[in-house]
């Protein structure tokens, strides 16, 4: 792309941004890196365009059936699960950590993009272990072009970890050829450096995985 072509691309990018287009949309249309678009339009006021309502389109019967089944299964899950006892809560947290937690000795680390799972983990950690709140740490993994300040405040609200205890964020450069969707608030990494706590957590994980299911 020559100098004139680059200027034209920058101007087009600014027009599209002012029209409410996302950075990823602009980068895809213009065939340039999202990081370049971010620089070109950083001073352009941006208001996301609302999605067009599709009131004229009737939902497909299979889609309606799918939604109905999901709703039914959600109600069934609530009925079957009931209220978690302490024993069930302890086991559930251990299972969650077995799948999503760090196994490196000496450091409790849990990472996820789903707020409800991160909130569940923090509640579990605080409920069953002696935690020094001042030693809890948080780090956010967020793609370039997304609002870091909003993301950090979001995770601070989810975890009740003050932003002063957040570490330096990791900003990933978006690659439109590899990923089409990005999590608005990124991925949260909750950390707690304590060898004893991590070994207790891993003791629960190993005990859980060693159990045999009770026959019905």
Amino acid 213: pLDDT: 63
Q: Give the C-alpha separation, 29 to 25, whole Å.
A: 6
Amino acid 5: pLDDT: 61
Nearest to 169 by CA among 67, 154, 181: 154
Amino acid 190: pLDDT: 97
Residue 215 token pair: 């026959």
Q: Give the C-alpha separation, 32 to 54, whole Å.
A: 31
- Contact between 207 and 155 (Cβ < 8 Å): no
Amino acid 168: pLDDT: 94
Q: What is the third-level CATH fold of 84-210?
A: 60s Ribosomal Protein L30; Chain: A; (3.30.1330)
Provide the residue ranges of all domains of the chain, joining segments of one domain with +: 3-40, 84-210
Amino acid 6: pLDDT: 67
Distances (CA, A) of 24 to 36, 149, 181, 196: 11, 19, 9, 44
Q: What pTM, to 2 d.p., does this model score?
A: 0.67
Amino acid 130: pLDDT: 95
Weakly modelled stretches of the chain, pLDDT under 50: 54, 178
Amino acid 26: pLDDT: 84
Matching residue, tokens 């450096």:
193
């Amino acid at each position: 792309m020559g100098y004139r072509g680059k200027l034209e691309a920058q101007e087009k990018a600014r027009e599209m941004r002012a029209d409410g287009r996302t950075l990823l949309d602009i980068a895809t249309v213009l065939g340039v890196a999202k990081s370049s678009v971010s620089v070109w339009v950083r001073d352009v006021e941006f208001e996301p365009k609302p999605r067009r309502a599709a009131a004229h389109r009737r939902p497909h019967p299979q889609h309606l059936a799918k939604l109905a089944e999901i709703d039914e299964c959600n109600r069934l899950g609530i009925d079957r699960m009931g209220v978690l006892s302490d024993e069930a809560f302890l086991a559930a947290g251990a299972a969650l950590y077995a799948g999503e937690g760090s196994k490196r000795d000496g450091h409790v680390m849990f990472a996820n993009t789903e707020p409800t799972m991160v909130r569940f983990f923090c509640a579990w950690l605080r409920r069953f272990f002696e935690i020094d709140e001042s030693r809890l740490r948080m780090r956010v993994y967020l793609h370039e072009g997304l609002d870091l300040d909003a993301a950090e405040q979001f995770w601070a609200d989810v975890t009740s970890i003050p932003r002063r205890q957040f570490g330096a964020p990791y900003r990933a450069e978006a690659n439109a050829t590899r990923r089409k969707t990005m999590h608005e608030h990124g991925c949260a990494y909750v950390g707690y450096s304590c060898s004893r706590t991590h070994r207790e957590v891993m003791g629960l994980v190993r005990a859980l995985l060693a159990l045999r299911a009770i026959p019905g």
